[in-house]
Amino acid sequence: MPSSTKKQARTMAAAAHNPAFAEKVGIPQKVARDFNQADKGGKLLSSAMKEERGEPPAPAAEEFNEPRQRARSHALRTYA
């Protein structure tokens, strides 16, 4: 079962790799490993780890650029 939040993904990864931390937070290490395996390759854990390292988050596929959109819209109205 994959994690549902970035905080949960980070906590499960830490508990999976550190038995003392797992005991401290009260998560069985086997459960943490299962969550960590389910999170591998997903965007949730990788984005949480990038945030923790201070890397900027990946940009959205296409962000709305208002001046550019207005210019395109004006050009389409002018030439259509």
Task: Look at residue 59 in the predicted model and tell me its pLDDT.
Answer: 60
Question: Is residue 41 assigned to a domain?
Answer: yes
Task: Give this prediction's pTM.
Answer: 0.58
> Cα 31 vs. chain centroid, distance in angstroms?
21
The boundaries of the domain holding residue 61 are 6-79
Count up the domains in the chain and report the number: 1
What residues in the chain have per-residue pLDDT under 50? none
Beta carbons of 44 and 9 less than 8 angstroms apart: yes
Give a yes or no: residue 1 inside a domain.
Answer: no
pLDDT at site 56 = 65
Degrees to nearest 5, angle at CA 1 with 39 and 14:
50
**What 3-state DSSP class applies to 65?**
coil
